Amino acid sequence: MVVKIGVNALAVGMYVVDTGLSWMEHPYLYSRQGRIDSEKILQALRKEGYAEAFIDTQKSGLDDDAARRLSGGTLFTEAFTAHARPSAASGKPVPMEQELPAAKKVYEDSLAFARDFIHKAYLEKQVDVTRSQAFVDDVITSVARNRDALTGLCKLRVYDEYTYTHSINVTVLATAFGQFLGLAEAELRPLGLAALFHDIGKANIPREVLNKPGRLDEREFQVIKRHPLESYSLLKDKEALKFQVLPAIVEHHEKYDGSGYPRGIGGEDISMFARIVSLADVYDALTSERVYKKGMPASQALGVMYGMREKDFHPTMVERFIKCLGVYPVGSFVRLSDRRHGLVWSSNAQAPLAPTVKTAFDDAMRPIPVELVDLSLCDKTSAGPPLSIAEAVDPRLFHIDMTAVMN
């Protein structure tokens, strides 16, 4: 598990996690990945003014009590245990296996569309928004039938260039979250469009700054910070985007504590759509593979985002976002308490810690007959302690092809 702790509580032997969050936006976050192996390092990073760090509790050898004490509150997973465990029937009109083929088609078509409109925007500084509505509508329809299919695919499809997948993933995640929050279809459309076009202004940012693999310096960061307003200037004449879409795009880097950009507004002043897009944006960025960084496992990314509540995000919104996706989002690879391994197959909003898992490997990662295990029902059927998720596991460590398990 990942928890955020104050730098004064860091000790020799603890294992710091690199979240991949921009150091310019989080200057007080110490994030050089690895074990703290000397008192000298601690003294140096205190002197440099770092205030917080995310640590991996298991690699740091900490039990839950110690992690709770150090993080000064409820652990990420505990915040979502207080819910009743009703039956697994979560009201999804169509089961996962039925929606999956349609969702794959929607994802592939949307990705092809994104390649097209983003390519044109970079080359011609023009955005054709006329075809976008139909793609957003397809996403809304698939998500209404089954939220898990498209959100799971976002994390499992073969990697394409980040700029294209990010635009579609944020659209899917924002739409799914909006639907979870109970927004009407008429509201999901502008929300989806805001998500689709949120970063299009990057087309007006010099390539050498945008694609710089290392850390940005202060001047380059100031250039990057222009992109929400560049998105606005590319889209401001589009009548269909005027009211709810453009404000959300402009505000997608504003933060709850007022430390964001471009205007530094905070709290309730940030529009609801912008708050949704920003959660989807950060989640996808944390979990995505980039040239210069590995993607975080989804549950770890949600742990980091939980640690960012009240600073970056509205606390209630981040909690709802985690409930929407589940503590272990669909597509996560997990080890169960009986030591079997499998893929999280469908979420359970009433019991975010107890999704349905498709078990496919034994303790030693040997293939076993596939079984769908609904963890929310396991306490009623098993004689021993209820079956539960022991931990999320990184499938890359075992060279497991998750798409094969998904099919």
* 229 vs 349, beta carbon nearer Fe ion: 229
Q: Which two tokens stand for residue 378?
A: 């396991």
d(CA 306, CA 4): 9
Q: Tell me the window of 199-207, 282-290, 301-309, 354-362 that interacts with Fe ion (CB under 5 A).
A: 199-207
**In the complex, what is the shortest distance from the CB of residue 199 to Fe ion, in angstroms, rounded to a whole number?**
4
When CB distances to Fe ion are compared, the closest residue is: 199
* 199 vs 254, beta carbon nearer Fe ion: 199
Q: Tell me the window of 14-22, 101-109, 192-200, 229-237 that interacts with Fe ion (CB under 5 A).
A: 192-200
Pick the closest to residue 284 from 299, 272, 298, 303 (CA basis).
298
CA distances from 108 to 28, 104, 111, 288, 302 (A): 39, 6, 5, 17, 26
Q: Which SS3 state, helix, strand or coil, does residue 30 take?
A: strand
Whether the CB-CB separation of 249 and 270 falls below 8 Å is answered with no
**In the complex, what is the shortest distance from the CB of residue 308 to Fe ion, in angstroms, rounded to a whole number?**
16
d(CA 334, CA 292): 25
* 77 vs 278, beta carbon nearer Fe ion: 278
* 68 vs 225, beta carbon nearer Fe ion: 225
Among 56, 99, 148, 199, binds Fe ion (CB under 5 A): 199
Q: Does 138 bind Fe ion (CB under 5 A)?
A: no
Burial 61-97 (b: 16+ CB within 10 A, else e): ebeeeebbebbeeebbbebbeeeebeebebebeeebe
* 160 vs 230, beta carbon nearer Fe ion: 230
The answer for residues whose C-beta is within 8 angstroms of residue 265's C-beta and 6 or more apart is 251, 254, 258
Among positive and negative, which fits the CA dihedral 216, 200, 250, 237? positive
Q: Tell me the window of 99-107, 191-199, 229-237, 272-280 that interacts with Fe ion (CB under 5 A).
A: 191-199
DSSP code for 9: G
Q: Tell me the window of 50-58, 99-107, 195-203, 231-239 that interacts with Fe ion (CB under 5 A).
A: 195-203
**Site size for Fe ion, by CB under 5 A?**
1
Pick the closest to residue 174 from 155, 158, 190 (CA basis).
190
The length of the chain in residues reads 407
**In the complex, what is the shortest distance from the CB of residue 228 to Fe ion, in angstroms, rounded to a whole number?**
6
**In the complex, what is the shortest distance from the CB of residue 284 to Fe ion, in angstroms, rounded to a whole number?**
11
**In the complex, what is the shortest distance from the CB of residue 331 to Fe ion, in angstroms, rounded to a whole number?**
23
**In the complex, what is the shortest distance from the CB of residue 285 to Fe ion, in angstroms, rounded to a whole number?**
9
**In the complex, what is the shortest distance from the CB of residue 248 to Fe ion, in angstroms, rounded to a whole number?**
12
* 77 vs 175, beta carbon nearer Fe ion: 175
List of residues contacting Fe ion (CB under 5 A): 199
